[in-house]
Structure 1
Amino acid sequence: MSYLRKIEYTIIPEEPFKILRNCSGCGCKTLFHNTNRFRVNANGNKIDVWLIYQCIKCKHTNNLTIYERCKPESILQQEYEGYLSNSGKLAFEYGTDSKFFTRNKAEVDWSNIKYIINRQNGMIAGNDQFFQKGDLLVIHNSYSLKIRTDKVVSEILNLSRSRIKELEKSGAITVTEERQEHKIIIKIEKEIITKEPFEVKML
């Protein structure tokens, strides 16, 4: 089947993820935030690099490993300089990389992730007043944010979750989630008129 329009969206985090871990200062499990600072340690011909996280309550720190006992020549010069200068861009990249947290066995706090949904042409989701029969909507979740599919679809179509269920049941839309490719696909089978535009940024 050919589609009239293919409209693509991208889910983008607005800030680095926070992590949950036991804090020796607080004596309990607390939130740690990304300080946007790196620690670099040179020991002989080996280098260690960490991204520093800090307890939001008592300021105790926890280092997440980026490189451990690594040869200096294996790190790009520009990247190494970014660690030394505490590059905010580099800290954001690591702070939103799910694989980085998995490697460090760090628990991400998915309950308070702030994000925006951008349309490919730069428009914020919710600015469309209607979708036509034959539209194909592709939502890319490249950062692997753990957000409910029905919530994302609700935000894109600017309709309540209960209304989304009704549309799926009636065959007006079909929704599929391709987890391996980190995307959600919405096929519009009947014209849909949305509510007034709004912008939702938080889970």
Structure 2
Amino acid sequence: MSYLRKIEYTIIPEESFKILRNCSSCGCKTLFENTNSFRVNANGNKIDVWLIYQCIKCKHTNNLTIYKRCRPDTLIKEDYEGYLNNSSKLAFEYGTNNRFFARNRVEIDWSKVKYIVRCNNDMQVGTENCFYKGDILVVNNSYALKIRRDKVISEILNITRSRLKELEKAGIIIVTEEKLEHKMIIEIMGELCNDR
């Protein structure tokens, strides 16, 4: 029997990314974490806005630039108030934005990224779901997390990574990656009920 189901998943970070930086207090490269606090500094009629990161060992802080020498009236009002009130939602948005880290020339510690995989349909990830021939699973990684594809796929299908490798080799599962769009397409080419 052939099914034509399209099941969509989204990979979502559970917390802001940690970064690796040289800490002037520790004297070595250490992990810094998002404090969910902003620093807004007025300089005449211009302002600077930073997101504050903190060394997990010594609590020394490091400011990552959001705006430099900008007029407050050019900012979105809700964002400006969010900076002033230390909006945790806004801090999370910046703390999971790869372009923000690239602009600040900081290194994200991908080994410590905590994430969840959420199914956009009614299925539960990691449970005894059955997948059938003709199913197409689309995994969106819009945050561009650097995580192993086999880890994510085996988590979704609720099988071991070695079983996944066997199924791929046998042509029962075909995985294609669309790197520019940060997504994976998993095609189920044969009957596949999870049997861990």
Could you state the TM-score of these two structures normalised by the residue count of structure 2? 0.96
RMSD of aligned C-alpha atoms?
1.4
CA distance in 2, matches of 1:136, 1:170: 17
Matched residue, 1:135: 135
Matched residue, 1:31: 31
Matched residue, 1:146: 146
Deviations 1:109-131 (A, max 9, x none): 10011110000036441124210
Look up the equivalent residue of 1:34 and give its one-letter code.
N
CA distance in 2, matches of 1:76, 1:91: 15
Q: Is the 8 A contact 2:11 2:140 kept in 1?
A: yes
Q: CA deviation at 1:158?
A: 1.1
Matches within 5 A, 1:10-89: 10-89=10-89
Q: Is the 8 A contact 1:12 1:117 kept in 2?
A: yes
Matched residue, 1:200: none
Q: Is the 8 A contact 2:123 2:129 kept in 1?
A: no
Q: Is the 8 A contact 1:6 1:136 kept in 2?
A: yes
Matched residue, 1:162: 162
Q: Is the 8 A contact 1:32 1:56 kept in 2?
A: yes
Q: Is the 8 A contact 2:7 2:121 kept in 1?
A: no
CA distance in 1, matches of 2:158, 2:52: 38
SS of 1:142's partner is coil
CA pair 120-128 structure 1, distance change in 2 beyond 3 A: farther
Q: CA deviation at 1:195?
A: 3.7
Q: CA deviation at 1:150?
A: 1.2
Deviations 1:156-176 (A, max 9, x none): 111111111111111101001
SS of 2:180's partner is coil
Stretch moving more, 126-135 or 4-13: 126-135
Matched residue, 2:179: 179
Look up the equivalent residue of 1:96 and give its one-letter code.
T
CA distance in 2, matches of 1:47, 1:124: 46
Look up the equivalent residue of 1:21 and give its one-letter code.
R
Structure 1: 5+ residue runs without aligned partners? 197-203
Structure 2: 5+ residue runs without aligned partners? none
Q: CA deviation at 1:61?
A: 0.2
| Paired positions, count | 195
Matched residue, 2:98: 98
Matched residue, 1:113: 113
CA distance in 1, matches of 2:93, 2:122: 21
Look up the equivalent residue of 1:26 and give its one-letter code.
C
Give the 4+ runs in structure 1 shifted more than 2 A: 121-124
Q: Is the 8 A contact 1:3 1:136 kept in 2?
A: no
CA distance in 1, matches of 2:143, 2:24: 30
Q: Is the 8 A contact 1:9 1:140 kept in 2?
A: yes
